[in-house]
A and B are shown apart, each in its own frame.
Chain A
Amino acid sequence: MSIKSNNIDISLGGRDILNNISVEISGGEITTVIGPNGAGKSTLLKGLAGDVKPDKGNIFYDDKNLIDINIQERAFTRSVMSQLQPIAFDFSVREIIEMGWVDRGQSDYAEEFENAVMDIVLKCGVENLIHRNFNTLSGGEQRRIHFARTLLQLWRPSDAKDPKYLLLDEPTANLDLTYEVKMLNIIKEVANEGSGVMLVLHDLNLAAKYSDKIILLSDGKTVEIGAPKDVLRAELLSVIYDIDIEITEDPLFITYY
């Protein structure tokens, strides 16, 4: 089970953003994309999610070409969280989370709807927020609610085996330490249950700690793909980020669980 891109090029507004990218997001793993600003991380996520079409090359969800998958079917298969927009009307937090529920037609789990919502609400620890007006929440709280919505979109009964992918662009932006760790632990759990997870992260320490695989992008090209210890090398990162980087097992490094 995987999302694969074969030599894709993506340009936006006439500017080439990604060049000849071949990557794979596998089920059961967290694959993290890192790289300097403007490297094309978010564009890669949008490409793999199907928001933007590659100019060249193909994207496959298992053996199915993404362009042959209709948008409803995509919505059952992958959920995406990226930069968020303000919401004009006063929806309740619960309503925002429920927007993640995709009506699936024949294979609908409609009778499970209530259970699914409560499942996710408890998992994300937002039960004290669900009756609040969404627009009165802080930025970090809003992000946690959108994360819950993203998880609800992929909710399945425990015996379901169909593939699913979670694609998250900077999910931990605006979160304090507690919720950053909590969210990443939930993401880890989702991956352990078999889903494919793709993260875009700025924080290299978080990337090192949580990823199974890291894709280092620079200037629209893949520089290195591999296990964190293989990609996060001081001499390589120093060149890519253009500052001196030292990798240490810091005696004062605080470990959280």
Chain B
Amino acid sequence: MNSFINAFGIKNIHVSSNQIFILNAFILLTILAFILACITGSINISLRDLFTSSLDDLSRVVLIEIRLPRVILAGLVGASLGISGAALQGLFRNPLADPGLIGVSAGAALGATLVIVLGSNFVGSFALGSFLLPMGAILGAMSVILLLYFLTKGFGYQGVTYMLLVGIAVNAIAGVGIGILTFISTDSELRGLTFWTMGSFGGVTWPLLIPAILIILISISLMMTVSRNLDLIQLGEPEAYRLGVDVKKLKYKIILTCAAAVGASVSLSGMIGFVGLVVPHLVRLFGGVNHNFLMPGSAFVGASLMIIADMLSRTIIQPAELPVGLLTSAIGSPFFLWLIFRIKRG
């Protein structure tokens, strides 16, 4: 069991056996959600057929070309939003940090929108689209994190609410940008833009998905390596430095990996709110606040919740589809309120 967890780069002495048990339960949950989401939908696939590979042609096409990429994307986006939320909350020492609330997702959406509306004029065709789109989103996300870096004097602790106020402003700026681009876009471009407001995993194809899989998996693995340092920085930057943490390097690493993970996610799924906020808190409630547990835990819980949310969004009002972002916001926003009251009381 321990060596399995070690494959994720976790040092055992900082994870309790209880936490290893919970992490394994999270992994199991992710696998179950994945299988369930693969067989459920407008065409149901029987579990026996799936494992004996005796699917009929239609089911096979639906599974491999439509459902599998969609479920994988939902899982990856959930994992990257969950773990990025955990990393940003840790870095800012702020329980309310979330890629959506502080404007990182909006920055990514603006970057991607720019690529769609202006990119087509320059590139001519969308041949480079599968790389250009995530790159635009990553640059957008990174610009916002860098802006936050300067506005908070190097992520110095400024109280819990300051960053949220900055986030409101950043979200508004990105909203204006997206609004203008929507206004000047052509009809066909507009169709590509509309889903950004509420997020969706529909319509993803393998050629679009593969670069995102690479970017997200690399970012997540890199983020895992700084778990211990995120614990130490909770003592304050000078203390972390005295314990051997290169604080500057840690910040750059998190800026880059979060921007890459969130950017690649948003470029394919649009803005999906509150996952990065709710998931880390949920994981903390289950098994503790240390990042060696929290980071992988948030990745797996984020992945399973998002897979389930997406499955619900495409099944509850068949044949229509509920935007998945609407579902996560419906659950996430009351939680956000609860969190604010809890922090105020504390």
**B283-309 CB contact bits vs A (8 Å, 1 = yes)?**
010001110000000000000000000
- Chain B's nearest CB lies how many Å from the CB of A217? 21
A103 to B292, CA, bound (A): 14
Cβ–Cβ < 8 Å partners of A89 in chain B? 93, 95, 234, 284, 289
A82 to B238, CA, bound (A): 9
A98 at interface, CB cutoff 8 A: yes
A103 to B289, CA, bound (A): 20
Cβ–Cβ < 8 Å partners of A71 in chain B? 241, 244-246
A96 to B14, CA, bound (A): 11
B60 at interface, CB cutoff 8 A: no
With both beta carbons as reference points, the residue of chain B lying nearest to A96 in the complex is identified as B235
Cβ–Cβ < 8 Å partners of A96 in chain B? 235
Q: Are B235 and A74 in contact (CB under 8 A)?
A: no
Partner of B14, one of A51, A75, A98, A153: A98
Whether A75 touches B234, Cβ cut-off 8 Å, given contacts A91-B290, A103-B228, is no
A10 at interface, CB cutoff 8 A: no
**Which of chain A's residues 89-116 have a Cβ closer than 8 Å to chain B?**
89-92, 95-96, 98-103, 110, 113
A88 at interface, CB cutoff 8 A: yes
Q: Are A91 and B289 in contact (CB under 8 A)?
A: yes
Q: Are B238 and A88 in contact (CB under 8 A)?
A: no
A84 at interface, CB cutoff 8 A: yes
With both beta carbons as reference points, the residue of chain A lying nearest to B95 in the complex is identified as A88
Whether A153 touches B243, Cβ cut-off 8 Å, given contacts A85-B236, A91-B234, is yes
Cβ–Cβ < 8 Å partners of A153 in chain B? 243
A44 to B157, CA, bound (A): 25
B145 at interface, CB cutoff 8 A: no
- Chain A's nearest CB lies how many Å from the CB of B230? 10
Q: Are B13 and A113 in contact (CB under 8 A)?
A: yes
Cβ–Cβ < 8 Å partners of B13 in chain A? 101, 110, 113
Interface residues on B, range: 20 to 34
Whether A99 touches B243, Cβ cut-off 8 Å, given contacts A51-B238, A88-B234, A91-B234, is yes
B83 at interface, CB cutoff 8 A: no
Q: Are A99 and B242 in contact (CB under 8 A)?
A: no
A215 at interface, CB cutoff 8 A: no
Whether A99 touches B232, Cβ cut-off 8 Å, given contacts A51-B242, A82-B238, is yes
B94 at interface, CB cutoff 8 A: yes
A100 to B11, CA, bound (A): 15
Whether A95 touches B242, Cβ cut-off 8 Å, given contacts A87-B234, A88-B94, is no
A190 at interface, CB cutoff 8 A: no
A59 at interface, CB cutoff 8 A: no
Interface residues on A, range: 20 to 34
- Chain B's nearest CB lies how many Å from the CB of A96? 8
Partner of A92, one of B93, B246, B288: B288
Partner of B244, one of A51, A88, A92, A102: A102
Q: Are B244 and A75 in contact (CB under 8 A)?
A: yes
Cβ–Cβ < 8 Å partners of A99 in chain B? 231-232, 234-235, 243
A80 at interface, CB cutoff 8 A: yes
Q: Are B243 and A102 in contact (CB under 8 A)?
A: yes
With both beta carbons as reference points, the residue of chain B lying nearest to A94 in the complex is identified as B16
Q: Are B289 and A84 in contact (CB under 8 A)?
A: no
A110 to B12, CA, bound (A): 10
A118 to B290, CA, bound (A): 20
Partner of A85, one of B228, B235, B242, B290: B235
**A57-69 CB contact bits vs B (8 Å, 1 = yes)?**
0000000000000
A27 to B85, CA, bound (A): 45
With both beta carbons as reference points, the residue of chain B lying nearest to A71 in the complex is identified as B244
**Which of chain B's residues 107-163 have a Cβ closer than 8 Å to chain A?**
157
Cβ–Cβ < 8 Å partners of B95 in chain A? 88-89
A127 to B300, CA, bound (A): 34
A92 to B18, CA, bound (A): 14
**A51-B242, A79-B242 given. 4 additional CB < 8 A pairs?**
A85-B235, A85-B236, A90-B289, A99-B243
B-to-A contact residues, CB < 8 Å: 11, 13-14, 93-95, 157, 228, 231-232, 234-236, 238-239, 241-246, 284, 288-290
A-B contact pairs, 16 of them (CB 8 A): A51-B242, A71-B241, A72-B244, A75-B243, A85-B235, A87-B234, A89-B234, A89-B284, A89-B289, A91-B234, A95-B231, A95-B288, A99-B231, A100-B243, A102-B244, A153-B243
* Those 9 A-B pairs whose CB atoms lie nearest each other, nearest first: A75-B244, A85-B236, A89-B289, A88-B93, A72-B244, A80-B242, A113-B13, A71-B244, A75-B243
